[in-house]
Amino acid sequence: MQTLKPGKQRKMLYQAPDHKRHKHFGAHLSPELQASQKVKTLPVRSGDTVRVVRGDHKGFEGKVSRIDSNKYRIYIDGLTREKVDGSSIFVPVHPSKIVIKSLVLDDKWRKKIIERKRATHKKVEKAAEKPKREPVEIKKEITEEKAEEKVKAEKAKEEKPSGRKKRALRKPKAADTKEKAVTKKEEKPKEKKARTKRKSAKKSEGGA
């Protein structure tokens, strides 16, 4: 379910199941690791050595000691702060603020994830290496064919005689015009019908 409301987005984030929470711990690999593993990102795990890239502790490097999947934070060995009572606690760091320097590859499932990502990366490279077809030559052929068809159609029109002949306009004769003028004169003007006047009702002497 996708929504634009920030309240619902936060609710989905903090009520997400574990298999979806795992994806939010993804972090970029260092350029050296990207060249060797041919993978750009991976989820952080305890035991990986990371370097903080942003924030107050920028430049700090150490091993990941613990991961808090409820609050989406990681804890690095040596990155601590003192409380008011004198005790020291770990400083939580968000996975987006770190870069992975070295990976722990003891887990077979993690190796499978890397192999799967490599396969997709190879497919993308092969698709980029494929030479693109030249559409210009195809367009030229199509335009030439259309031009030939037009020439053939014009030749066929010229060869075929037109079936219908245009009728010549008939000029009116002088005798016909004279007859029409005579008939108009002979016609009598229409007589106008006289309107009947309405009889006005006689008023009685009493005014009723």
Q: What is the CATH number of the domain that holds 32?
A: 2.30.30.30
CA distances from 26 to 74, 95, 125, 143, 175 (A): 12, 7, 23, 53, 105
| pLDDT tens-place string over residues 52-61 | 999 999 999 9
Pairing of strands 98-102, 26-29: parallel
Mean pLDDT in residue range 132-156: 71
Q: Which residues span the domain enclosing 14?
A: 6-129
pTM, two decimal places: 0.58
- Would the CA dihedral through 146, 147, 151, 152 be positive or negative? negative
More confident residue, 152 or 49: 49
Q: Is the pLDDT of residue 139 over 90?
A: no
Asked whether residue 153 is domain-assigned, the answer is no
Asked whether residue 14 is domain-assigned, the answer is yes
Asked whether residue 57 is domain-assigned, the answer is yes
| pLDDT tens-place string over residues 83-135 | 999 999 999 999 999 999 999 999 999 999 999 998 887 787 778 777 766 55
- Residue 37 buriedness (CB in 10 A; 0-12 / 13-18 / 19+): middle
Instruction: Please tell me the total count of domains within the chain.
Output: 1
pLDDT > 90: percent of the chain:
50
Q: Is the pLDDT of residue 163 over 60?
A: no
What per-residue confidence (pLDDT) applies to 208? 46
Asked whether residue 204 is domain-assigned, the answer is no
Cα–Cα distance measured from residue 39 to residue 31, given in angstroms and rounded to the nearest whole number: 10
Count how many residues are written for the chain: 208
Asked whether residue 196 is domain-assigned, the answer is no
One-letter amino acid of 32: E
> How high does pLDDT run on average in the chain?
81
Determine which of 70-79, 118-127, 139-148, 156-165 has the lowest per-residue pLDDT on average.
156-165
- Percentages of the chain per state (helix, strand, coil), in multiples of 5: 40, 15, 40
